[in-house]
Amino acid sequence: METVNYEDLVREYNGRLISQLRNHAASVSYLEMWVPDEDPCRSIFNMVEAAQACGQANLRVRVQKSTLTQERLPAFREAANAVGKVSLEDEGSSWLISVSDLH
C-alpha cells in the first residue's frame, strides 16, 4: 500500500491553484476529488472519502504531529471508523494513519 505525505499533497495542491487554470486535483489519482480543508482532521477524513469514492480499499497517510495534534486524533478516528478500520502508528514527529476495509 502506497503511503501519501499529507503536507506534500497540500503544498502541491496549493501550488496548482496558483500555476494551473484547471485540474487542481492531488497528484495521486485516487485523491482527484480531494480538496484540502484548513482543519487537518477534516481534510484527512476528506482524503479517506475521496479514496473510498474512487474504489480504493485502503489509504495510508503520513502527517506531522504539528499538523494533526494528539488532541484531534479522537475526532478523526471517530469519523474514519464509520467508513473503515483505522490504525495509527507513532513515528516520533509524525503519525502514520492507515484506514483499511473502506466500505
pLDDT at position 24 is: 46
Which backbone phi and psi does 55 adopt, to 5 degrees?
Answer: 85, 10
Please classify residue 40 by burial: count the beta carbons closer than 10 Å to its beta carbon, then call 0-12 exposed, 13-18 middle and 19+ buried: buried
Can you give the pLDDT of all 103 residues of the chain as single tens digits? 789 999 999 998 888 777 665 554 566 888 888 889 999 999 999 999 999 999 999 999 999 999 999 999 999 999 999 999 999 999 999 999 999 999 8
- Look at residue 23 in the predicted model and tell me its pLDDT: 56
Q: How many CA atoms lie within 13 A of 102 on its CB side?
A: 19
